[in-house]
Structure 1
Amino acid sequence: MISRRGVLLAAGLSVLPSVLPSRAVAAPVIVKPLPDTDFIVHGTNAETRWEALRGTGSLTPVPKFFVRNHTSTPLLDATSWRLEIHGSGVARPLSLSLRDLRALPSCSVEAVIECAGNGRSFFTTQQGQTVSGTPWKLGAVGNARWRGVSLGLLLRLAGLRRSAVDVLPAGLDAEYVTGGVNLGRVRRPLPVSKALDDVLVAYEMNGEPLPPDHGFPARLVVPGWVGIASIKWLGSLEVSESALHSPWDTQYYRLLGPTYPADGTLVTSQVAKSAFELGWGAVVPAGRQVLTGRSWSPGGVRKVEVSTDGRSWRRATPVSRGGWTRWQVPWQATPGEHVLRARVDGQPDESPYNTQGYLFGAVVRHPVTVA
């Protein structure tokens, strides 16, 4: 087993007491092209069209991967970038360059990243409930193979104390101002138990360096948890012996509503969902069709069922498994208006209401016209 000292020496890491800034250059809100065939743009965000994923394989192509930005994509200088690990929860603060990260033992994981508000619009259109936030359908999700360094390894190299309880990752995008209030840079705490479990500090996406919109030069990947936990443009990790907080776990990303406590319930893990690789309100020809789609769940997908008649359910055939499950099912399409439904085992018909529209996990009714 490689020792902490051996890894530090091999990578040429330095132990520093101070936190150094990284430089960012102003950029468009989103850098990559956003063709109408692939995306629906919601202000600073871009939602993937499900029909654009048909035939693309299990990994979402980077050009088609959804974008969730609070402000705009920063253009960071990789040569001056540093990841600072500091705080009362570590014995030896570290300052790591991108070269340092790449010199450490690496690992990779295929994992879905999904906005906590994915499916939010269906609270209104299916359940008749008013919610706030970006009106995503189901396209605020993507699956990629991420490569980087285990966060647990980095924390151990920094001398993680037994008394440490929280890790607060912070991004290097612009400070977020809303309603005239500056909330600072996007940051949200993770319990040390999760940080040591399966969290990755990633520098590659689908075998290539992270693109600017997806976190270059490094980001967190927190499998199974809502997307806000996977902080992009990672600049620092504060490790603390006491609980840490930010507006992204006290003001936002809490379940609020009549069935929740007054201060809400913190949103952490995602919920199961299923989607057809079809445009919303698509028109398809009559006759034999093969419906395709994808289902995903933090707890894994055992089976997927599809309904084309509003009454009965048929089991779909898996095509591939990984971060999500791709599937297909035959359909003899007859002329007229139809509603297609797909569900993971246990997926409910209605999702618990919350005012900010998080974690919509009900079966979605997808309209299709057969001509």
Structure 2
Amino acid sequence: MIFCILLFVFMGSVAADNSSLSYEQEPERSHRLIINQHEPFNAETGVDDLSKTFLTPSEIFYVRNHGPVPALQEPEHFNSTYMLQVNGIVESPFNISLGALQRFPEKVSMNATLMCAGNRRTEMSKIKTVKGVPWGPGAIGNAEWTGVPLWTLLSIAKADLDNPNLHVEFSGGDVFEGTTHYAQSIPMYKAGDRKGDVLVAWAMNGQPLTLDHGYPLRVVVPGFIGARSVKWLNRITVLDHESQNRYQQKDYKLFLPSVTWENVDPLWNITPALTQLSVQSAITEPADNSTIMHGSPYTIKGYAQSNGARITRVDVSLNNGITWQAADIVYQEKKGYDNRYWSWTIWALPVAEFPSPCVIVCRAWDTSANTQPEAAAHIWNLRGVMNNAWHRVHVHDDKHA
């Protein structure tokens, strides 16, 4: 019954026209963000702010852009003028306005962590230079997202949600290299799965999306690399192949350490695009190269996450991995045995007498006993993606503190 009502209200032949996007204005941004690139704008959350709260405030949530941020000329009219297309290999393609989408009875809110595949890239650069935005451990954040489940829209369009050979492409309003729009796709097994929890979202932490985070619409693909969560969404297309966008075909792929820019070309087409995130953890307090007085009390803090699996343990070493102890789980969503733990886990380890100078190391484990490799050198790759090696922080002694 609900599909009949929605089809009657929202189907039509009116073409989606989002021509009110331009590419000149720059949004307001918090001074607390660490800017890694000015054009296009890319910034991460500082370690002082990471893991302080379970939900990352929108103003300090990391920003990943591949091109200039679209500026909205008349956002006050977007409820009626901003149109989302759903088309491709579907029986009933349709267009829907932002306002109509927000009136869907299937509206849901969900907590989920997004993380750039290049998070912690700078550690790989210390081994050998890689190409990409120089991210530290702050290209990650956790937020509450509100929107409509993607599978609902695909069902209305009568897409084949059970076809393992289909892909769903998301096209955004941002452009790179002058004319090419950013687009990404995910397999139908994720897009059409009710438990995949992919959202077409218009709100973040209870407020409309900010321009930096995709206003007025974005996709949130929990458990997948952040590149697939396309911002400024204006079209959803069901395909019988992966997106051919450059950032799907010529980026976000993982190669052997022996692969260089001189011999990589034949491998792009035969190497699968990255999808799910690896198990990850990082130390947020203290920061690397901090000074802590020997013998003083101190609480080490950090985050951990997987691709939907629950984090079961975080190990911390105060002697560069020689001996370990289990950290306390400070905050973790309770979802039983359902592998839909899309949010990060916040952890802490109180130390009564800090052994400065030392090297702190952390590693996480999930319900499948997945853990992190010991060294970034073992997983180095020319793009510096998916660095989930043990995270190390060097601490110095201040005898005069």
Q: What TM-score do the two structures reach when normalised by structure 1?
A: 0.89
Cα distance, 1:196 vs structure 2: 0.8
Task: Indicate if the aligned counterparts of 1:17 and 1:93 stay in contact, CA closer than 8 A.
Answer: no
Q: 1:318 to 1:349 in 2, by over 3 A?
A: same
Gaps of 5+ in 1: none
Please say which of residues 281-290 and 100-109 is displaced more in the overlay.
281-290
User: What residue is the counterpart of 1:206 in the other structure?
Assistant: 205
Task: Indicate if the aligned counterparts of 1:333 and 1:370 stay in contact, CA closer than 8 A.
Answer: no
Tell me whether 1:324 sits opposite 2:320 in the alignment: no
Tell me whether 1:53 sits opposite 2:50 in the alignment: yes
In structure 2, distance between residues paired with 1:111 and 1:53: 15
Cα distance, 1:14 vs structure 2: 2.9
Equivalences for residues 50-199 of structure 1 within 5 A: 50-53=47-50, 55=52, 57-76=53-72, 77=75, 78-79=78-79, 80-87=81-88, 89-104=89-104, 105-125=106-126, 128-161=127-160, 165-173=166-174, 175-177=175-177, 184-197=180-193, 198=196, 199=198
Task: Indicate if the aligned counterparts of 2:36 and 2:135 stay in contact, CA closer than 8 A.
Answer: no
Task: Indicate if the aligned counterparts of 1:293 and 1:327 stay in contact, CA closer than 8 A.
Answer: yes
CA offsets 1:343-367 (integer angstroms, 9 cap, x no match)? 1022111242221111001002112
Equivalent AA in structure 2 for residue 124 of structure 1: S
User: What residue is the counterpart of 2:273 in the other structure?
Assistant: 266
In structure 2, distance between residues paired with 1:74 and 1:344: 38
Task: Indicate if the aligned counterparts of 1:308 and 1:339 stay in contact, CA closer than 8 A.
Answer: yes
Which of 313, 330, 350 is equivalent to 1:303? 313
Cα distance, 1:246 vs structure 2: 1.5
Task: Indicate if the aligned counterparts of 1:274 and 1:296 stay in contact, CA closer than 8 A.
Answer: yes
In structure 1, distance between residues paired with 2:51 and 2:395: 16
Task: Indicate if the aligned counterparts of 2:86 and 2:94 stay in contact, CA closer than 8 A.
Answer: yes
In structure 2, distance between residues paired with 1:220 and 1:100: 17
Task: Indicate if the aligned counterparts of 2:292 and 2:354 stay in contact, CA closer than 8 A.
Answer: no
User: What residue is the counterpart of 1:337 in the other structure?
Assistant: 357
Cα distance, 1:32 vs structure 2: 3.1
Gaps of 5+ in 2: 334-342, 366-370
Equivalent AA in structure 2 for residue 149 of structure 1: V
Which of 385, 390, 398 is equivalent to 1:363? 390
In structure 1, distance between residues paired with 2:118 and 2:152: 31
Q: How many residues are paired up?
A: 357
In structure 2, distance between residues paired with 1:344 and 1:241: 37
Cα distance, 1:54 vs structure 2: 5.1
CA offsets 1:217-245 (integer angstroms, 9 cap, x no match)? 11000011101100001010111245542
In structure 2, distance between residues paired with 1:292 and 1:242: 43
CA-based RMSD = 2.2
Which of 281, 294, 299 is equivalent to 2:289? 281
Task: Indicate if the aligned counterparts of 2:25 and 2:71 stay in contact, CA closer than 8 A.
Answer: no
Q: 1:271 to 1:241 in 2, by over 3 A?
A: closer
Task: Indicate if the aligned counterparts of 2:318 and 2:355 stay in contact, CA closer than 8 A.
Answer: no
Q: 1:281 to 1:86 in 2, by over 3 A?
A: same
Q: 1:246 to 1:254 in 2, by over 3 A?
A: same
Task: Indicate if the aligned counterparts of 2:298 and 2:354 stay in contact, CA closer than 8 A.
Answer: no
User: What residue is the counterpart of 2:21 in the other structure?
Assistant: 24
In structure 2, distance between residues paired with 1:329 and 1:196: 40
In structure 2, distance between residues paired with 1:313 and 1:40: 34
User: What residue is the counterpart of 1:292 in the other structure?
Assistant: 301
Which of 312, 322, 336 is equivalent to 2:323? 312
SS at match of 1:236: strand
Cα distance, 1:333 vs structure 2: 4.4
Cα distance, 1:19 vs structure 2: 4.3
In structure 2, distance between residues paired with 1:335 and 1:192: 51
Q: 1:217 to 1:239 in 2, by over 3 A?
A: same
Task: Indicate if the aligned counterparts of 2:51 and 2:346 stay in contact, CA closer than 8 A.
Answer: no
CA offsets 1:30-89 (integer angstroms, 9 cap, x no match)? x23231x4424323100111112353x2000111100001122223332421111112x1
Cα distance, 1:122 vs structure 2: 1.0
